[in-house]
Chains A and B, each alone.
Chain A
Amino acid sequence: MLKLSSVTTSYGSTVALRGVSLHVNPGEIVALVGANGAGKTTILNTISGITPASKGTVTFENREIRRWGADRIVRLGLCQVPEGRQLFSDMSVKDNLLLGALSLGMKRRKYQKDDLDKIYGMFPILNERGSQRAGTLSGGEQQMLAIGRALMGRPRLLLLDEPSMGLAPRVMQEIFSCIRSFRDTGLTVLLVEQNARMALRIADRGYVLETGSIIMDGTAEELMENKEVQRAYLGKGYREVWE
Chain B
Amino acid sequence: MNIEMISRDELAQLQLERLQSALFRAYRNVSFYRKQFDASGFVPEDMQALDELVNLSFTSRADICAGYPYDMLAVPLREVVRLQNSTWTAGSPAVCAYTQNDMRHWVELVSRYLAAAGVNRDDVVQIFFSGSGLNSSLGFHSGAEKIGAAVIPISVEGANDQLAVMQDFKTTVVCGTASDALQLAEVVSKRGMDRRRLSLRVGIFGREPWSEENRKFIEESLGIVALDHYSVSEFGGPGIAGECDCKCGLHIAEDHFIAEVIDPQTGKVLPDGTEGELVLTTLTREALPLIRYRTRDITTLTRDVCSCGRTFARMNRVKNRNDGLVIAQGKRFYPQQIAAILTNVQGAKPLFQIVIERINGVERVEIIAELTSELSADSPGKIMTIENRMSEQIRENAGIEVHIRLVEKQTIIRILVDEDVVCDKR
* Chain A residues with a Cβ under 8 A of chain B: 3, 5-6, 8, 18-23, 25, 55-56, 207, 212-218, 222, 225-228
B25 contacts A215, C-beta separation under 8 Å: yes
> Please, how many angstroms separate the alpha-carbon atoms of A6 and B19 in the complex?
11
> Please, how many angstroms separate the alpha-carbon atoms of A225 and B18 in the complex?
18
A-B contact pairs, 24 of them (CB 8 A): A5-B16, A5-B49, A6-B16, A6-B48, A19-B44, A19-B48, A21-B16, A21-B20, A23-B10, A23-B13, A56-B48, A207-B17, A213-B20, A213-B21, A213-B24, A214-B17, A216-B25, A217-B17, A222-B101, A225-B100, A225-B101, A226-B286, A227-B79, A228-B75
> B46 contacts which chain A residues (CB < 8 A)?
19
B83 CB within 8 Å of chain A: no
Distance (Å) between the CB of B23 and the closest chain A CB? Answer: 10
A6-B49, A225-B104 known; A22+B25 contact, CB < 8 A: no
Distance (Å) between the CB of B415 and the closest chain A CB? Answer: 51
> B407 contacts which chain A residues (CB < 8 A)?
none
> Please, how many angstroms separate the alpha-carbon atoms of A5 and B104 in the complex?
27
Query: Which residue of chain A has its CB nearest to the CB of B103?
Result: A225
* Total contacting residues, chain B, CB less than 8 A: 28
Taken residue by residue from 26 to 41, chain B's Cβ proximity to chain A (1 for < 8 Å, 0 otherwise) reads as: 0010000000000000
Query: Which residue of chain B has its CB nearest to the CB of A56?
Result: B48
> A21 contacts which chain B residues (CB < 8 A)?
13, 16-17, 20
A213 contacts B17, C-beta separation under 8 Å: no
A225-B100, A227-B75 known; A18+B17 contact, CB < 8 A: no
* Chain B residues with a Cβ under 8 A of chain A: 1, 10, 13-14, 16-18, 20-21, 24-25, 28, 44-49, 75-76, 78-79, 99-101, 104, 284, 286
Residue in A8, A207, A227 whose CB lies within 8 Å of B99: A227
Residue in A19, A222, A225 whose CB lies within 8 Å of B45: A19
A3 contacts B13, C-beta separation under 8 Å: yes
Distance (Å) between the CB of B364 and the closest chain A CB? Answer: 47
> Please, how many angstroms separate the alpha-carbon atoms of A225 and B14 in the complex?
21
> B10 contacts which chain A residues (CB < 8 A)?
23
Distance (Å) between the CB of B225 and the closest chain A CB? Answer: 32
> Please, how many angstroms separate the alpha-carbon atoms of A154 and B1 in the complex?
25
Query: Which residue of chain A has its CB nearest to the CB of B9?
Result: A3
Distance (Å) between the CB of A208 and the closest chain B CB? Answer: 8
Distance (Å) between the CB of A64 and the closest chain B CB? Answer: 14
A25-B1, A222-B104, A225-B100 known; A19+B47 contact, CB < 8 A: yes
Distance (Å) between the CB of B334 and the closest chain A CB? Answer: 37
List the 5 closest A-B pairs by CB distance, nearest first.
Answer: A18-B45, A6-B48, A19-B45, A21-B17, A227-B79
B21 contacts A214, C-beta separation under 8 Å: yes
B24 contacts A215, C-beta separation under 8 Å: yes
> Please, how many angstroms separate the alpha-carbon atoms of A1 and B193 in the complex?
58
> Please, how many angstroms separate the alpha-carbon atoms of A226 and B284 in the complex?
12
With A207-B17, A213-B20, A216-B25 given, name 10 new contacts (CB 8 A): A3-B13, A6-B47, A18-B45, A19-B47, A56-B48, A215-B24, A215-B28, A218-B284, A227-B99, A228-B75
